[in-house]
Amino acid sequence: MTFGRNLRVVISCVTFDTVKIVKPALHFRADMIYLIHQADSQPYSDFLKEVIDELESGGIEHKEVHTNINKFEDVMRTLVRIMEKETEKGNILYVNIEAGSAIYSSASLIASMMFNATSFNVGTKEHMIKDYTLYYENGRPMGLARDVYDPFILPEFRLERPRSELVKALAIWKDVRTRFGRRKLKETMIRLEEEGLLENVSEDGKVTHSGQMAFRRKFLLKWIEKGWMAKNENGDLEITPYGEMVLKMFAE
């Protein structure tokens, strides 16, 4: 088990590749690698096992994370949780955006920008034969690539994570309406006050005007500006599909 700060941590997705996952981990001298997968049956389970065997032979610790690799929200949520955990530890993140599903590739690039992680691509130097039955060599899973070039470091970008208080407040808004129905501003604001997100919102059991203005300024207008909330055809405010996606990815 690895401990301490400044560990080299690689994140990758396992589907039909082995060398695209193992060789970059060795190149970066990874202390540990996360293997995101959905290997519920063969042939996916064969490739996952082969990757693990090769990593263990190379002395690299691994952690498996099972998730729906074809659903963006699930993959993004998994990546965010991993990156939050490892950055809090002070570790160095390398994100393989080449191996795995197309959904994973998109999500991993976005998440890398948000956490200022180093994302990399892996160019295929030599392809395996395209016949599905020949993706194995000497009975061992090899995948689509026989060999790869050294990892190509992508240019760094910064994409800020949504502010945690905005996400938490939006989750409270949704929870109150799910439990009690619409037009429950008082209950929402009291919950926000209980969570330390607003102050002095009520007086003598009633929501104050200043409290309403603070809620509008601090949360409501920002939700609308970000596209997380909008009025429906009846003129009522509701969380947009984009807002729902934000909650799925970032709400605790």
Q: Indicate if 149 and 171 belong to the same structural domain.
A: no
pLDDT of residue 153: 73
Q: Is residue 3 part of a domain?
A: no
Residue type, 250: F
Residue 3: pLDDT over 60: no
Q: Which two tokens stand for residue 11?
A: 């994140």
Q: The domain spanning residue 180 has which CATH number? A: 1.10.10
In 3D, which of 113, 135, 129, 109 has the Cα closest to residue 121? 109
Q: What is the mean pLDDT of residues 89-109?
A: 93
Q: Indicate if 148 and 178 belong to the same structural domain.
A: no
Q: How far apart are CA 196 and CA 162, in angstroms?
A: 18
pLDDT of residue 129: 65
In 3D, which of 160, 175, 159 has the Cα closest to residue 247? 175
Q: Indicate if 12 and 103 belong to the same structural domain.
A: yes
85 pLDDT tier (thresholds 50, 70, 90): very high
Residue 29: pLDDT over 70: yes
Q: What is the mean pLDDT of residues 113-122?
A: 91
Residue 154: pLDDT over 90: no
pLDDT of residue 135: 79
Residue 92 vs residue 153, higher pLDDT: 92
Q: Indicate if 148 and 26 belong to the same structural domain.
A: yes
156 pLDDT tier (thresholds 50, 70, 90): low
Residue 148: pLDDT over 80: yes
Residue 159: pLDDT over 90: no
Q: Indicate if 176 and 128 belong to the same structural domain.
A: no
Range of the structural domain that residue 192 is part of: 164-250
User: Residue 148, exposed/middle/buried by CB under 10 A (0-12, 13-18, 19+)?
Assistant: buried
80 pLDDT tier (thresholds 50, 70, 90): very high
Q: How far apart are CA 37 and CA 39, in angstroms?
A: 6
Name the DSSP letter for residue 143.
B
pLDDT digits (tens, 9 = 90+) for 180-222: 877 788 888 889 999 999 988 877 778 888 888 999 999 999 9
Q: Indicate if 49 and 169 belong to the same structural domain.
A: no
149 pLDDT tier (thresholds 50, 70, 90): confident
Q: Indicate if 147 and 177 belong to the same structural domain.
A: no
The four Cα atoms 22, 25, 29, 34 give a dihedral, to 10 degrees, of -120
Residue 74: pLDDT over 70: yes
Q: Is residue 158 part of a domain?
A: no
Q: Indicate if 143 and 178 belong to the same structural domain.
A: no
Q: Is 0.75 surpassed by the pTM of this model?
A: no
Q: Indicate if 33 and 82 belong to the same structural domain.
A: yes
